[in-house]
Structure 1
Amino acid sequence: MRYYICILVLLSFVLSGCEKEINLEHMRPDPKLVLNCLAVQGDTLSVELSRTWFYADNKVNDIFVSGADVKLYVNDVFRESLVETAVKYENPDMDAVLYKSPSYMPMAGDRIRLVASRKGFKEVEAVTEVPRPCCVSNFELQQESVRDTSEGWNNTYIHLTQQNTVSFTLHDEPGEDNYYLIYFRRGHAWGKKDSLRYSWFSFTPDYGSEPVFAVQNSALDQIFGYDGVGGYNGLAFSDELFDGKSYQFKIPWKISLSYTSDTDYTPYKYRCYLYSVSRSYYNYMKTMNDLYESGFVGDLAEIGFAEPVRIYSNVEGGTGILGGGCLEFREFTSD
């Protein structure tokens, strides 16, 4: 036993002597502008402008860039300089800066170019087009609910199991590449019944049951439990499997909850956002999906044992994304 203790003590001294403080300041690059904007048909054009930061920085608060000149060109004609606006983000809790157009709202077919400049940064530029709206029909929410009861301490408990399915038919335009994005949120009621308000949260339905979203998992992914499709922040997809045809989507999810008989129970509400998006925004969201859905290989990339996912950007001189989109929106009230 004494022999093993001596070995452990010796190893502790050897390993402690291997510590070395490395100064990374000589690797610090010049910061770049980060331009992010999704130009949605019929909505106010809003641009978020921030900056890159060095990965060795422990705490970064001032990432948003104020005092910039952000010029808007529509169909290659100068339209206006965007107006700087201070905003408050709730999640995460921080003050931000947006650059907004006081009058312009994107329209399908518009070619949008943004040029942003500020002292101390290289000028950035990005171009995108606003696609046509989705052609969609038969949008509906189907629900199958089962309620059981059980007796508890001075109360009756109601147990709800509910199978939900959103279905719709997407009619794809033939002879061209089309790109889409789908996104779900769930509304939780609060307040009194005569003045209900809803807080909205993202959630992930069972995308993997729909062939368009199905992914091929490697053997390693299956071994380590990476066998689903996430899409918490939305899923981008193309018309590759149904080019020029009408395709019916069925996207299910299941909920289980319990409440007491004296509870003023209010069902959830659900929102489905279906966008047609530009190729640039599809490429960006696809790489973002790959980053968060990359399974075991993605985990290896995070520790340097595999090629990392490179996030797509169409911003020249900096980074970020300028995309175009048209929104088809539905809200459903649950049973």
Structure 2
Amino acid sequence: MKKIINAPENYVDDMLKGIYAAHSDEVKYTADDLRCYCRAEKKDGKVAIITGGGSGHLPLFLGYVGDGLIDGCGVGGVFQSPSPEQIYNIAKEVEAGAGVLYLYGNYTGDIMTFDMATDLCDMDDIECKSIVGADDVNSHKDPATRRGVAGIYFMFKAAGARADEGGTLDEVLAAAQLAKDNTRTVGFALTPCIIPEVGHANFELKENEMAMGMGIHGEPGVWNGPLKTSHEIAEESLNTLLGDMPLAEGEEVSILINGLGATSIEELYILSNDVTEILHSKGIKIYRTIVGEYATSMEMAGASISICKMNDEMKKYMDHPVKTPFICQK
């Protein structure tokens, strides 16, 4: 294992110390707990949005904390959930008089954490509502049990924009639901990753082999086989996406081409071009294309493709400016 670290057991806290040192004007921690990550300032009267999950996925989840997006994030160990107490302490810090929306990925440990945090907040009369991202089409036929992966980006954008506009808790929840209902993702891995405290790969792929549908924690995909070309990957992925969320000719989408941690930007743009050409060949319009790392898995090579169907409301949310230490859109 080759990593730039001090001690594996300090991996997450050392990372957080570095972020706070570099961006103290934008983010802070509360309750004397480095893993209770919050915006440096809060806006009175605004719905507070809190996310959380395991480390190892930057910029997901804490990278979305900032202007126009999320207000706080519970930071767990690598691929581990934060604690209910951490989410509760964050809620007490960022709640600004309009209630709290919990917005996080559809994973059992995280669901338990946020449900317990809600119970703690209820005792303090802090109103909380929850919604989970569940966009990974290949993870399950039932949409309710799908994993939340990079497509949660669109939920963060919609909820964050509506909260920034002064929406009520129900309106912010509805914005997140709109994005969720219209977002689908397919991902694939080319290599495993190494969890620092474990020190070895979390699964195995042979040379020139890829895994279609692999999860961001190494969850099994739908097939392992020979590495395909970018165009072949794009074609199979879009067939899956459009099979689950059919789009008519003339409809419009935004697309997110997301790298999993060790895929070059050059490769992502090759994939983006293939996705664009295939969608255009079907008469589907593209409102916005986002390319880069938005939900990673340590140093895993691979990518994901997310599509979000646009209407006038979603376009407004997509155009809303955001700024965090990791993401900036004017």
- Structure 1 length normalisation: TM-score? 0.23
Structure (1/2) with the larger helix percentage: 2
Structure (1/2) with the larger strand percentage: 1
Higher normalized contact order (CA 8 Å, seq sep 6+, divided by chain length) = 1
Whose radius of gyration is greater, 1 or 2?
1
- Structure 2 length normalisation: TM-score? 0.23
